[in-house]
Structure 1
Amino acid sequence: MLKNDKRIRIFIGHYGSGKTEVAVNYALKLTEVSEKKVALADLDVVNLYFRSRERQKELEDKGIRVISSSIEGGALDLPAVSAEVMSPMEDHSYDYVIDVGGDSVGGRVLGRFSHLIEEGDYDMFMIVNANREQTQTLDEVLNQIKSIEQTTRLKVTALINNTHLVRNTTIDDVIKGDSLVKQVSEATGLQVRYVSAIEQIANHIPEGTLGEVFKINLMMRTDWM
């Protein structure tokens, strides 16, 4: 189904939603099915941890063009974003994955470039983790969507149920998230595009759960976390 998503895939969500984990896994899977070049932009200039740029070498080894801060150096975290971000937005030879910093604050970075993103050429996926604060109820998720849309100047087009507790995740967590995204879908008309989980959980997701099952590997966390 990845091939049926729009050319520009934007991933947004609250801190701790697992947004970056999903975006990185998505970009890697995209290289397996896309006939285009694949680029991944890390627009997170807010969060110091679990950023896609931290896996730049592994991603580039898979043929993914990684775009992040204009300031080189892993120990630096200055709020600067390379103008290179714009290139795959306009170059249709690319499939483009954009990992946006958490919440509306991180969304302001994307808002700087939103005029370059054509309507109908993008999907903006709202990552929902029903175990995280501020995204545990319908009203909280709706507020997140509203604030992110306002700051990015783009519309959320679909939902992803990524309810987890990292390695302590159970099927019950996924079902809890399914109940929440169903409410959000009914309130907004947004489709639940994917339900994502690590493989041992994904293999047991029950029928009737909304979204195509999207198996992920934990790329952003070391074994002790």
Structure 2
Amino acid sequence: MNDHIIRPFLKRILIVTGHYGSGKTEFSVSLALRLARETERPYPRLAVVDLDIVNPYFRSRERMQLLEDAGVRVYGSIYKTEITAELPELAADVRAPLEDKGCRVIIDAGGNDSGAKVLNQFKKYYAPEETAVIAVLNFNRFETRDTDSAIAHVRAIEAVSGLTVEGIVNNTHLLRETTAETVLRGHRLSKEFCEKTGKTLWCDCYPEQLVSRTALAAIDGYLMPLGLYMRPTWLDR
């Protein structure tokens, strides 16, 4: 198992889609912090663009201070970190990192196909040679409970956005009840998903505070450790 960031994540623009509750924001934040620690960077700047403004659940801009302390600029809603006032309106500077060829960008797109609609207004920036689209899947969500429902979900995102999802990320979890078997089950379903669609399983995620990497030795692909940055502990009490 390799510890480096795998090749698809090295494209300049990475669009992260997925159903709400899939953990796409946790993935986006964890990936950004991991990339910020890389000593050799093909792009000198790093940014997260939070486009989760339609039915937002957890939002990467809620961790703006954490990200910016690590050297990651955060763009998105006009309300920045304000969570008591939420309107689907983006700040004027949201295009800046997309236009900056020296900036690697992680786009945290809105949940499901409705959230994916927001991507359309920035299509001119999604040059195929520097843009990758992934879908984060949690097979413990009802809407993506099996491979057929997950396929329908991904196809709906593609239909609305006009973009092709190149690969998927297995982030099957049960919040703080996640075990190694939870992740391994998601891995098996993700492989089945890829066999049916021809898409690529880019990585399997696991919460490093809850699951040991050695317990996932049966997975021969890339393992992505996730923090627990987005969910406050008081929600699980």
Q: Scaled by the length of structure 2, what TM-score is found?
A: 0.89
* Alignment-derived partner of residue 18 in structure 2: 13
C-alpha displacement of 1:3: 6.2
**Residue by residue, what CA displacement relative to the aligned partner does 1:67-116 show, whole Å, maximum 9, x if unpaired?**
01124533211010124222222211001011011000000001111222
For 1:61, give the aligned amino acid.
Answer: D
> Where has structure 1 moved over 6 Å in runs of 4 or more?
none
* Alignment-derived partner of residue 85 in structure 2: 76
Alignment partner of 1:224 is 2:229: no
Match of 2:123 among 102, 114, 129: 114
- Tell me how many residue pairs correspond in the alignment: 225
* Alignment-derived partner of residue 154 in structure 2: 145
* RMSD (CA atoms): 1.6
Match of 2:70 among 45, 62, 73: 62
* Alignment-derived partner of residue 91 in structure 1: 100
CA distance in 2, matches of 1:188, 1:178: 15
Give runs of aligned pairs for residues 196-211 of structure 1, distance below 5 A. 196-199=205-208, 200-209=210-219, 211=221
CA distance in 2, matches of 1:44, 1:118: 21
**Residue by residue, what CA displacement relative to the aligned partner does 1:139-170 show, whole Å, maximum 9, x if unpaired?**
11111111111222211111111000011001
The answer on whether the counterparts of 1:178 and 1:210 sit within 8 Å (CA) in structure 2 is no
The answer on whether the counterparts of 1:163 and 1:174 sit within 8 Å (CA) in structure 2 is yes
Per the alignment, in what secondary structure is the counterpart of residue 95 of structure 1?
Answer: strand
For 2:229, give the aligned amino acid.
Answer: M
Per the alignment, in what secondary structure is the counterpart of residue 211 of structure 2?
Answer: helix
* Alignment-derived partner of residue 178 in structure 1: 187
Give identity over the alignment, percent.
36
CA distance in 1, matches of 2:196, 2:133: 17
Per the alignment, in what secondary structure is the counterpart of residue 120 of structure 1?
Answer: helix
Name the stretch that deviates more: 168-177 or 208-217. 208-217
Structure 1 runs not aligned, ≥5 long: none
Structure 2 runs not aligned, ≥5 long: none
